[in-house]
A = this chain, B = another copy of it.
């Protein structure tokens, strides 16, 4: 009799934890000046990356990240059972156009900046459920495509508030496998959408923080673990203000997060880089996870990791229509292989 795969209200436990057999991360020039630059496989030289549009540059990064993950694992696209991918652009054009070059059965996902973690959770279920041997995962974002779509033309040079975050230019990919060497995905906690009526699109960290805290607490309740079971808990892109809020919410719930809890949006840039509250975007948690954290897990410096993909589920239309910003966070527990 296999162990139950469902724990509590929102967590699944994998009976044969899928292995992350390879990971790849590409980052933009600004990220290449940040503290995690040495963990990236490639830093692109400028935001156009030889393409005529920023959208094409973003796709090129995603395509390269996916190819690099395949190359590192010694696999061809034909070996992959499913490709799970997404991005921030309307109708997922980065993921969809990239997928058109790969001929792999494709499932498009949208969880805003939580998409890498949504994909890790779903991909692990597809493998542990017996439907796939290899699942390829990838996400991307680009400062210039995101600003064009969500905010102002860059040429406008508008003043940003101190709570605003900087969309990470980057792409990351990894391969989940039924067997092999590498860190293993042991649990996934799927978030619910939380709307605490925050409606300032220039402070998404605060909008996402309650969802992140909720998923962390739900994960601990479902698994029966304490926060200090994990060497590191990292949220995706809450930035400075969201990180403060999650720290407060966890402390109020009786935990002592302290240095054990970090945010990828604070790790990717240094405070001197003028990014205000920190990094954001699909690529933020993705390049930190597939670059820095993956290498820490592989080297054994990190043993038990809980990552939270965090997503602010607004659109320009919803904001123009005066709606709040609902948010979500998906948690994935990864243990060193």
**Contact of A191 with B118 at beta-carbon distance under 8 Å, contacts A125-B129, A132-B6, A326-B97 already known:** no
Q: Which one of A19-27, A105-113, A158-166 is at the B interface?
A: A105-113
Chain B: which residue is nearest A2 at the CB level? B130
- A190 interface residue, CB < 8 Å from B? yes
Q: From A218, which residue of chain B is reached at the shortest CB distance?
A: B105
Q: What are the interface flags for A212-241 relative to B under an 8 Å C-beta threshold, 1 for contact and 0 otherwise?
A: 000000000000000000000000000000
Q: Is the CB of A89 within 8 A of B317?
A: yes
Instruction: Known A131-B125, A313-B96, A315-B93; judge A191-B321 contact (CB<8 A).
Output: no
A172 to chain B, nearest CB (A): 19
Chain B residues within 8 Å of A131, by CB: 5-6, 12, 125, 129
Count of identical protomers in the assembly: 2
A126 at the interface (CB under 8 A from B): yes
B residues less than 8 Å from A122 (CB atoms): 107, 122
Chain A, range 157-197, C-beta contacts under 8 Å to B: 190-195
Q: Which residues of B contact A38 (CB under 8 A)?
A: none
Residue of B nearest to A111 (CB): B108
Q: Which residues of B contact A2 (CB under 8 A)?
A: 130
Q: Are A321 and B110 in contact (CB under 8 A)?
A: no
Q: What residues of chain B lie closer than 8 Å to A10, measured between beta carbons?
A: 105
Q: Are A100 and B195 in contact (CB under 8 A)?
A: yes
Q: Which residues of B are found within 8 Å of A318, using beta-carbon distances? A: 55, 91, 93, 97
Q: Are B96 and A190 in contact (CB under 8 A)?
A: no
B193→A106 contact, CB < 8 A:
yes
Shortest Cβ gap from A2 to chain B (Å): 8
